[in-house]
Chain A
Amino acid sequence: MVSITLPNESQKTAHIRLTLNGEETDVSFAPYKTLLEVLREDLGQTGTKHGCELGECGACAVLLDGKAVLSCLLLAVECDKKGVLTVEGLAADGKLHPLQDAFADLGAAQCGYCTPAILVTAKALLDVNPKPSREEIRTALSGNLCRCTGYQQIFEAVEEAIVRISGTQNG
């Protein structure tokens, strides 16, 4: 039987510097690792989840320079000098992000496993389109599978967050 020799995880020969949730961060890791693996295993940021590691479920979405990407399909070495935002970086000044608050209030998180990725994906949408329609929300979240909610309470929570954000800005 043929045996393939894979690189060793302890050979942390790759090194990048990224801005992780607003903080300058240096990390060394085995060069084959995905951003998902480096976040969870080398940086201790376990808020980002995985459901397939094949780009099918969307549970590992993070924002790379503001754009939602699947961290399981991205090599960490590609993220040098980039800005990465995960669920851990959503709350600021001791306060939950309005999306987090609305998700909590309106039942948009049941098991909570797909939630971190849906939150950051929704944030990416609102950052470029502060008043999306229901259809635009649907489309933006169509790569994030959720098996618990049936999505309806997620849509409502995003819409509620939009109202709360605009209320804050006007107030």
Chain B
Amino acid sequence: MRVIGVPRRRVDARAKVTGQTRFADDIFLPRMAYCKLLRSPHPHARIRKIDTSRAAAHPGVYLVLSGKDLPIEYGILPVSQDEQALCVDHVRHVGDPVAAVVAREELTAFEALDLIDVEYELLKTIADPEEALATPAPRIHEYGEEGNVHKRVSLEFGDVEQGFAEADEVFEDTFFYQGNTHLPIEQHASVAIKDPEGKLTIWSSTQTPHYLHRALAKVLQMPAGHIRVIATPNGGGFGGKSDPFNHEIVVAKAALLLDRPVKICLTREEVFYCHRGRHPVLMKFKTGVKKDGTITGMHLQTLIDGGAYGSYGVASTFYTGALQTVTYHVPRYKFQGCRTFTNKPPCGPKRGHGTVQPRFGQEVQLDKIAEKLSIDPADLRLRIAETSNAVTANFFRLSVVNLSECIRRVVKNSDWKEKFRKLPEGHGVGLACSAYLTGAGLPIYWNKMPHSGVHIKFDRGGGVAVFCGATEIGQGSDDVLAGIVAEVLGLETFDIRLYTGDTDLGPVDLGSYSSRVTIMAGNAALQAAERGKAIIAEAVAEKFGVPKERLHFADKRVFDSVAPEKGVTFAEAVCLAEARFGTIGAMGSYTPPKSLALYKGGGVGPSPTYSYTAAVVEVFVDPRTGWLTVPKIWIAHDIGRALNPTLVRGQVEGSVYMGLGEALMEEQEFRRLPKKLSHALVHKFPSMLEYKSPTSLDMPEVITELIEEPDPRGPFGAKEVGQGPLLPIMPAVANAVYDAVGVRIDEVPITPEKIMKALAEKKAGREPRFGPSHFPNVNWPQALCVPPPWEGGDGNAVNDVPRTARHSTEKEKVLSS
């Protein structure tokens, strides 16, 4: 292959290094007005009265909007339509928008915010999940399980108590994973216009133009066909630009009313209020093992702080329990998850969505298990690692699995056997593994249509234009499309023109989330390119009188592979085909394979295939200060095939970086204002200076190895890389800290302060540990009992109505209601 697998410059590199990539805020249009949002200063309140008349009369102000102008509720999940673009009568967190001003100048809009008079009636603030469980009223939302409990799930795959009875040892551990945020360097921005024909166009920094398209149609009560969403290249996303946002809807409405372009660009503080970041999760793992480390049963409970809105939360809740079985063989598994509402900015999907927190708990607990059983933690994992083509206890079908090979490589590369438990005090190594989806197996809203589509247009000059809804967020989705099409047609990526992220031009791709673009848009592009190639080959074969199977597409030519001089340029080949068949175009699409998980809740977790990662982290811990430094990380990732190794390495290292930030310093924290002020629950530090993230000085050396065994499900064998490599970093750091100074930090982030507290416990002869000690009582529903495949299960729950269609109930329920 000439393109696939070759490290090369990405197709959009030139635009990026010359500053020509046009991000949303780089769009300036004639007559453009600017929008600012007035946000709630209170974490929880009723809006008694809102008077916008003074603001509307302010010179330079064109328009003031409030909740009554946009009352229709929306949200990313059909089951959580709980947001309003501007709050009508209820604000749920500091930063919830209540009004919008559009003015000739941004400063004027900002100034006029002060002229809006809002009368609030303060409500009791609910600060965390325990308080939410204990405080059924006032309710943050009028829907959910009860009180302030948003979602509760209970699933049991086999008799887990029997599993514990068969175990030689049973381990019980609680862990806490603090919330953190995406912190993309680009602040969210949008520009909306009423186009010359009178329809709506919006450019926005969104990872999911298709879902924004749907939300706009719903809230604005317009036919979707009259709305065009153009996702501008995102200046970093990481999941933070995956929800339809209030500011996007507001500028769309304003542009329609004013008949002029309207722009909004959020301040950094506002980006912290948009959030949708990592959920804080309290976890309890109970795991039974045989003396040789074999797992006999696992019971996981998660308590999730959802913040003020649903967002992706129902999916996040299931994700906290979905992938435990995908890494290691767990024959009996029980999962209970509970998400509560709190008066904080809403949590949502961040890189590794919902699986990161329990991955931390599971990998740290395995380290404890290995120590107790006197087994090397790498060897323990090799004994229990999942294998290719297995079906898990919760009915997820695995494809190619190279977890064991990942473990062996990092063990070898890091000199693990010479280091583990052998380094001097204060110096340690830790190991952890992970698995991640290569694309969600089900769409966010229930439908039977493809998850991704690609059109290719061929022109007489040999030009190839690729149209696809896929959204470039920096991960290289454009390069994936160009690479695949160029490879199939024997061209270079520079020969391919891309039209992506535009709901008018390209067929739907569901968006840049769940590591789905390479496999789904990639397979759609592969199919379209192969179909186009077949049309062209037929015409060329006819001209030369050779069987079309003998034709080869390479070096921008189409030629007889037996007699290479017999051939035409690619452009001539297109002309031959056009003369023979008329205008040439080709289409491709991709729908994931049907899942075996038929039970209610089985819609979250199935994927065409899973990526695997293993990592070893080396640390130095100063026992006098608790100061923790990471000099080196070894990582191996089971990628299937690297379509562009330069970009794949970038995704691995970027994941390591982001994981290290979570491990060491990043936290979305809140505090109460002093009583004499409002006592409001506010974000502790909505700024980049105080929200610590790793700089170039903090980044360790990373040794990356890619394991390439092509996966039959992926285009050219490719699996995901954007999220999986983040997951093992946090637990590997925790395990390395234990190796270095003998204390367990069962909480993320792992800060010097926590290490010092644990060291003090150790010195006092108590349990050398820092972490949560209890898990509150949750009123769990009766578990759906699904016998695992090896107990004769068919993927249905025995105590629920049998289900045959393969799609999650969550979605079906809403559509039928």
Q: Which residues of A contact B (CB under 8 A)?
A: 1-10, 40-41, 44, 46-54, 56-57, 59, 86-88, 90-91, 96, 100-101, 103-107, 109-116, 119, 137-139, 141-155
Contacts and interface: CB of A to CB of B under 8 A. Distances in A.
Contact of B650 (A40, A50, A110, A147): A110
Interface centre among B9, B18, B182, B658 (most CB of A within 10 A): B18
Interface stretch (B150-158, B354-362, B562-570, B691-699): B691-699
B108 interface: yes
B110 A6 contact: yes
Given A44-B28, A54-B689, A96-B17, A138 B187 contact: no
Per CB-CB distance, the 5 closest pairs between chain A and chain B, nearest first, are A47-B19, A111-B474, A112-B16, A113-B235, A150-B657
B292 to A, nearest CB: 37
Given A103-B17, A114-B185, A145-B695, A150 B702 contact: yes
B695 A147 contact: no
B687 A54 contact: yes
Contacts of B9: 104-105
16 contacts: A6-B108, A9-B107, A9-B108, A57-B688, A100-B18, A107-B649, A111-B16, A112-B15, A114-B185, A137-B696, A142-B695, A145-B693, A146-B696, A147-B184, A151-B696, A152-B701
B397 interface: no
Given A56-B688, A147-B693, A153 B653 contact: yes
Contacts of B236: 111, 113, 147-148
B111 A4 contact: yes
B574 interface: no
B798 interface: no
A153 B649 contact: yes
Contacts of A54: 268, 687-689
Interface centre among A44, A87, A111 (most CB of B within 10 A): A111
A54 B238 CA distance: 23
Given A41-B28, A119-B17, A107 B10 contact: yes
Nearest to A110: B474
Contacts of B654: 110, 147-150
A88 B18 contact: yes
A57 B653 CA distance: 20
B18 A51 contact: no
Contact of B688 (A48, A51, A88, A119): A51
B234 interface: yes
Given A49-B186, A53-B267, A106-B646, A111 B19 contact: no
B106 interface: yes
B428 interface: no
Nearest to B60: A8
A114 B695 CA distance: 13
B18 A145 contact: no
Contact of A147 (B18, B268, B658): B658
A34 B502 CA distance: 34
Contacts of A114: 185
B426 interface: no
A105 B655 CA distance: 20
Interface in B419-478: 473-476
A4 to B, nearest CB: 7
B183 interface: yes
Given A106-B646, A147-B238, A153-B653, A3 B26 contact: no
B20 interface: yes
B13 A57 contact: no
Interface in B147-174: none
B699 A152 contact: yes
Nearest to A44: B28
A9 B106 contact: yes
Contacts of B185: 49, 51, 57, 59, 111, 113-114, 145-147
B657 A151 contact: yes
Interface string B101-138: 00011111011001101000000000000000000000
B110 A1 contact: no
B18 A87 contact: yes
Given A138-B696, A150-B654, A104 B13 contact: yes
Interface centre among A87, A112, A141, A153 (most CB of B within 10 A): A112
Contacts of B238: 147
A137 B658 CA distance: 21
Contacts of A10: 104-105
Interface in B62-112: 104-108, 110-111
Interface string B1-33: 000000001101111111111110110100000
Given A96-B14, A150-B702, A51 B649 contact: no
Main secondary structure of the interface of A (DSSP, over half): loop
Contact of B23 (A49, A88, A103): A49
A144 B439 CA distance: 32
B647 interface: yes
B17 A104 contact: yes
Contacts of B17: 87, 96, 100-101, 103-104, 109, 112, 115, 119
A65 B600 CA distance: 64
A4 B111 CA distance: 7
B475 A110 contact: yes
Contacts of A86: 19
Interface centre among A101, A116, A150 (most CB of B within 10 A): A150
Nearest to B186: A113
B233 interface: yes
A86 to B, nearest CB: 7
B656 interface: yes
A145 B268 CA distance: 14
Given A49-B235, A107-B10, A150-B702, 20 more contacts: A1-B115, A9-B106, A10-B105, A51-B235, A52-B688, A57-B688, A87-B18, A105-B9, A109-B13, A111-B184, A111-B185, A112-B16, A113-B185, A144-B696, A145-B688, A147-B182, A147-B658, A149-B653, A154-B696, A155-B696
A141 B268 contact: no
A170 B693 CA distance: 40
Interface centre among B10, B105, B233, B650 (most CB of A within 10 A): B650
B183 A147 contact: yes
A148 B19 CA distance: 17
A155 to B, nearest CB: 8
Nearest to B645: A107
Nearest to B693: A145
Nearest to A48: B19
Contacts of A101: 17
A1 B111 contact: no
A107 B647 contact: yes
A148 B653 CA distance: 9
Given A4-B111, A54-B687, A152-B699, A104 B14 contact: yes
Interface in B315-361: none
A80 B186 CA distance: 29
B803 to A, nearest CB: 41
Contacts of A59: 185
A96 B18 contact: yes
A54 B658 CA distance: 23
Nearest to A114: B185
Given A111-B186, A111-B473, A152-B699, A3 B650 contact: no
A50 B696 contact: no
Interface in B689-718: 689, 693, 695-697, 699, 701-702
A4 B114 contact: yes
A17 to B, nearest CB: 23
B688 A116 contact: no
B38 to A, nearest CB: 12
A112 B657 contact: no
Contacts of A111: 16, 184-186, 233-237, 473-474
A59 B649 CA distance: 23
A125 B13 CA distance: 22
B108 A8 contact: yes
A88 B19 CA distance: 7
B474 A112 contact: yes
Nearest to B473: A111
